[in-house]
Amino acid sequence: MSAAEPTPPPGSSLLARFGWAVKDKLLGRGDEERAYDAVKLVHSEDLHKWDRFPKYQEFEGITYGEYRSEAYQLERRRRTVANLINAIDELDRLATDEIVEYHSELVEVPRRGLVSRAVRLPLPQTPRPGTSVESSAGSIREGSLEVETGWRRQWIDLTYKGASRLVNAERIEELEHRLGAMSDEQRRTIEEVAASRYAHPVLFISHRWESEAHPDPSGSQLRKLRALKDCFVVYDYSSFPQRPRSEQEEADFKKILGSMDQLIRSVVVLEAPDYLTRGWCLYEYIVASLHRTTVCDEVQDGRFVTLRDWVSTDPPVALSYRDSFESQQQNYINERILAAMNDVLPLYQEAAFQYEDDRGVVTELLMEHLVRTLPPTKHSQEYVGEWETAAWSVERLRPFFSGQGQVPRFESGVAIKRFESSVPSNLQDAVNRRYEIKRYGWMDLLNPLDSLRRVSFHRE
């Protein structure tokens, strides 16, 4: 693939071009070399062809490197019709019979005397064709509000509702006109993008090996995973080079192990009776929690749910004039994450590894994850008025992994509400949600009142 910058799609806005450039810079364009490029991907349709997972050397699946390259080429094609695809999505959303509210208004009913009597007031706005108006008092009849009046002034709430396809009739007509004018080439491109496998996400399967020779000899995990749709999966037995390995496979395997933190994304955690007793399983569970990238969690262990929720609790956006308030909230989040890790670490310390040398490697990886995940702590400076920011380091966290660490107490007088990540506990729910990962809204973070709204009077 050429390393040249792609030509911007015709008609692309300056903002769209800037957004795509940023995306390419952050996520890559598919032609960069990655340590995990040799990983083979299993498509969800493949799961229905097998009785059990094939060994890596016996599986002819595409590699992650090939997937990234093809996915970027598809993305370039999608960009040429991005506005049309957005129009199709908007049309699908609007052209439904779902009842939606499109206007609300408070109407004043003035005093009319000591004796109550019925009056008719004209509606402030004529309902759109096919829609209706609901009132908090009285009734709506023939375009008027009928209500009893008395010696007190009243305020009545009017709500205008209707089927989405009627409420948004003008916008739907505009979208249909735009889509009707598309060229045959644009239509073919849209169909190609919609049908391509390379638009499907990649999920990482965290599971317990049921035997040393094969992780799923009975095929029970395979049958369960058949619930997945429109995705690729990383399943270690079929995705990573297995023993005996050639010289090249051994080199690829070492690179893959060194990049596991990059692979553990969009994670599916499969339940097993002894899942929480295995070192690599716990490593994957912890990393998925720290990266808040779990799409399905069949285990739903309360300690990990708590860790995942607190890591998903984004610190408020700090503003200088109220730095003390938000710094204490940030410190409170740090305390909760460390306390949750303290609950999890005894499991990790007691977990079994097939090779004990793996424990040291995994421990270093976990500490590096925490360094990147934990928000920096804040410390007030006497007589200065501003708060000092202190980043985390591996040395600062090492005592926790030797069983000697104590959760420090920070200046955290202002508690904050924990975000509920609400990860599905079964595969079907994850599929229905299209493997969505719930996040705290960035618009909420930018709200100046966000810190006050998230204050909690209950300290966990």
Q: Digits of tens for pLDDT over the chain (460 positions)? A: 444 444 455 545 666 666 666 666 666 666 789 999 999 999 999 999 999 999 999 999 999 999 999 999 999 999 999 999 999 999 999 999 999 999 999 888 887 666 677 888 899 999 999 999 999 988 998 889 998 887 777 889 999 999 999 999 999 999 999 999 999 999 999 999 999 999 999 999 999 999 989 999 999 999 999 999 999 999 999 999 999 999 999 999 999 988 888 899 999 999 999 999 999 899 999 999 988 999 999 999 999 999 999 999 988 876 544 557 777 888 888 888 888 988 888 898 888 887 777 788 788 878 887 888 776 777 776 655 567 777 878 888 887 777 666 666 677 778 889 999 999 999 999 999 999 999 988 888 877 778 888 888 777 7
- Residue 418, Cβ neighbours under 10 Å: how many? 17
Collapsed DSSP state (helix, strand, coil) of residue 451: helix
Structure tokens at 354: 């097939």
Handedness of CA 224, 296, 26, 396 (dihedral sign): negative
Residue pair 328/412 in contact (Cβ under 8 Å)? The answer is yes
Q: Which helix (H) or strand (E) holds 117?
A: strand 117-122
Terminal Cα distance for the chain, rounded: 53
Q: Which residues contact 315 (CB under 8 A, 6 or more apart)?
A: 326, 329, 330, 333, 375
Instruction: For strands 232-234 and 202-206, give the pairing.
Output: parallel
What is the pLDDT, as a whole number, of residue 408?
67
Q: Which residues contact 224 (CB under 8 A, 6 or more apart)?
A: 270, 427
Residue with tokens 């793996």: 358
Instruction: For strands 232-234 and 42-43, give the pairing.
Output: antiparallel
Domain ranges of the chain: 99-167, 314-419+442-453
Question: From CA 328, how far away is CA 259, in angstroms rounded?
Answer: 35
What is the pLDDT, as a whole number, of residue 384?
53
What is the pLDDT, as a whole number, of residue 191?
95
Across 171-208, b (16+ Cβ under 10 Å) vs e yields: ebeebeeeeeeeeeebeebbeebeeebbebebbbbbbb
The beta-strand segments (E) located in 173-229 are 202-206
- Residue 374, Cβ neighbours under 10 Å: how many? 19
Residue pair 393/310 in contact (Cβ under 8 Å)? The answer is no
Residue pair 318/327 in contact (Cβ under 8 Å)? The answer is yes
Q: Name beta bridge partners: 135.
A: 158
- Residue 85, Cβ neighbours under 10 Å: how many? 17
What is the pLDDT, as a whole number, of residue 1?
40
The counts of H helices and E strands in the chain are 18, 13
Tell which phi-psi region holds residue 450, choosing left (phi > 0), alpha (psi between -120 and 50) or beta. alpha
What is the pLDDT, as a whole number, of residue 249?
97
